[in-house]
């Protein structure tokens, strides 16, 4: 890795993070921004040396050569910027397309970079030229970032909107059609605190009614450990979209006999549960198919490739809902930045 000896920020610097809250804060000392669904990163340039560093401290530059090239094309050759790598595809942002970039073959990465170029959504500035801004209040850092963005900036860089009005941020959430991932609140007089949860974030509580198409047992096969969830597409094929394991002990005990009585051939005729996944933690991938008769309402945060990215929260059973009413169109992908910018309008003063 190249050295960055002329920068006042180390490559190992962790980005400032946010703490999850139920409600956004009140008061005049807060700035509100959209929460973007991508790869958080710090962008470094020190002359001819450029790197993108992930939140986990791993270099991302080789996976996003178009962003590296854009950084090298800037007139300012010493900078550290904080932002989110996003990848607009059609009318939305694709987290799955971002994941595809993490590929070992440089030729594959180059092809994807040409066909579906990523962008860097910028929302903070740690250094510009010789000016170190980490200890400056956010108001000054934002001012410098906006000044930077008024220059000859490649289309690969976007400036994240902001507002000082809590009600305006609430309107973004209400009118985005659940296209926003959430809102981040930052203190306008706060310094940049690397690695600290010094910001606040409110995420949307999205819900979906899903068919239970199967289940997995616990280690001793005495109780159901998780429910496998499905949704129908436009062709009436049932796709496995994720799982929920957030069941209480009493709920597991009550539902297990009912699940066992529904055992039968798999109803997943679209995508189906398969090999061990990243959430199985070494457990067996064996699962028990059941007849698609039970409907459950779950809460989720994000989707990737028409699947829940993380485990979902069990909310309630829906005996009033017909299984065939559980459709893919419930899942709300995040919108294209241009559409959100149009929604947000001029509320960035």
Candidates 302, 313, 336; CA nearest to 121 is 336
51 in Cβ contact with 41 (< 8 Å): no
The C-alpha atoms of residue 157 and residue 151 are separated, in whole angstroms, by: 11
| pLDDT class of 344 with cuts at 50, 70, 90 | low
Q: What is the pLDDT of residues 4-23, one digit of tens each?
A: 888 999 999 999 999 989 88
Q: How does DSSP assign 242-280, residue by residue?
A: EEE----HHHHHHHHHHHHHTB-S----SS---S--TTS
The whole-number pLDDT of residue 95 equals 81
The C-alpha atoms of residue 242 and residue 230 are separated, in whole angstroms, by: 7
Axis crossing angle, helix 65-72 with helix 106-115, rounded to the nearest 10 = 70
List residues bridging with 216 in a β-sheet: 226
Instruction: Work out whether the CA dihedral 303, 308, 309, 310 comes out positive or negative.
Output: positive
| pLDDT class of 88 with cuts at 50, 70, 90 | confident
* Three-class DSSP labels, 279-300: CCCCCCCCCEEECCCCEEEEEE
Lowest mean pLDDT among 107-111, 172-176, 317-321, 338-342: 338-342
Long-range contacts of 303-306 (CB under 8 A, 24+ apart): 303/331, 303/332, 303/333, 304/95, 304/96, 304/99, 305/96, 306/239, 306/241, 306/331
Checking if the pLDDT of 293 tops 90, the result is yes
4 in Cβ contact with 46 (< 8 Å): yes
The domains found in the chain, sorted by start residue, are 17-204 (3.30.470.30), 206-330 (2.40.50.140)
**CB count in 10 Å sphere of residue 98:** 23
The C-alpha atoms of residue 298 and residue 167 are separated, in whole angstroms, by: 28
pLDDT over 90 percentage in the chain: 65
Span 176-198, average pLDDT: 87
Instruction: Work out whether the CA dihedral 173, 200, 64, 109 comes out positive or negative.
Output: negative
Span 239-260, average pLDDT: 92
Checking if the pLDDT of 343 tops 70, the result is no
Lowest mean pLDDT among 132-136, 185-189, 334-338: 334-338
38 in Cβ contact with 85 (< 8 Å): yes
Q: What is the pLDDT of residues 214-247, one digit of tens each?
A: 999 999 999 999 999 999 999 999 999 999 998 8
| Helix, strand, or coil (residue 127) | strand
Checking if the pLDDT of 179 tops 80, the result is no
Which residues are the active-site residues? 35
Span 28-42, average pLDDT: 92
| pLDDT class of 341 with cuts at 50, 70, 90 | low
| Measured distance between the N- and C-terminal CA atoms of the chain, rounded to whole angstroms | 39
The C-alpha atoms of residue 67 and residue 230 are separated, in whole angstroms, by: 37
For tokens 């920020």, name the residue. 9
Q: Check residues 133 and 20 and name the one with the higher pLDDT.
A: 133
89 in Cβ contact with 97 (< 8 Å): yes
Lowest mean pLDDT among 44-58, 84-98, 123-137: 84-98
Q: Up-side HSE of residue 127: CA atoms within 13 Å toward CB?
A: 20
**CB count in 10 Å sphere of residue 187:** 17
């Amino acid at each position: 890795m190249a050295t960055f000896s002329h920068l006042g920020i180390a490559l190992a610097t962790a980005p400032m993070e946010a703490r999850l809250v139920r409600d956004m804060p009140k008061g005049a000392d807060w700035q509100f921004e959209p929460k973007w669904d991508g790869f958080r990163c710090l962008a470094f340039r020190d002359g001819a040396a450029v790197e993108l560093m992930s939140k986990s401290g791993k270099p991302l530059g080789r996976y996003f050569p178009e962003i590296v090239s854009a950084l090298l094309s800037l007139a300012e050759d010493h900078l550290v910027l904080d932002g989110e790598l996003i990848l607009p595809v059609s009318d939305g942002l694709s987290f799955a397309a971002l994941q595809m970039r993490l590929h070992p073959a440089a030729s594959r990465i180059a092809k994807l970079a040409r066909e579906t170029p990523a962008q860097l959504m910028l929302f903070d500035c740690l250094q510009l030229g010789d000016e170190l801004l980490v200890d400056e209040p956010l108001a000054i850092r934002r001012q410098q970032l906006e000044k930077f963005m008024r220059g000859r900036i490649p289309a690969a860089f976007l400036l994240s909107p902001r507002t000082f009005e809590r009600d305006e941020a609430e309107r973004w959430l209400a009118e985005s059609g659940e296209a926003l991932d959430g809102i981040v609140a930052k203190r306008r007089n706060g310094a940049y605190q690397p690695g600290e949860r010094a910001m606040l974030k409110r995420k949307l509580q999205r819900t979906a009614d899903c068919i239970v198409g199967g289940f997995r047992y616990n280690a001793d096969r005495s109780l159901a450990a998780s429910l496998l969830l499905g949704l129908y597409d436009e062709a009436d094929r049932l796709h496995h979209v994720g799982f929920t394991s957030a069941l209480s002990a009493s709920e597991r005990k009550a539902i297990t006999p009912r699940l066992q009585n529904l055992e039968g051939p798999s109803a997943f005729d679209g995508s189906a549960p398969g090999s061990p996944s990243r959430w199985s933690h070494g457990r067996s991938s064996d699962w028990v198919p059941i007849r698609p008769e039970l409907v459950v309402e779950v809460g989720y945060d994000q989707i990737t490739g028409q699947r829940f990215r993380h485990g979902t929260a069990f909310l309630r059973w829906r005996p009033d809902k017909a299984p065939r009413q559980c459709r893919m169109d419930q899942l709300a992908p995040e919108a294209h930045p241009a559409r959100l910018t149009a929604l947000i309008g001029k509320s960035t003063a």
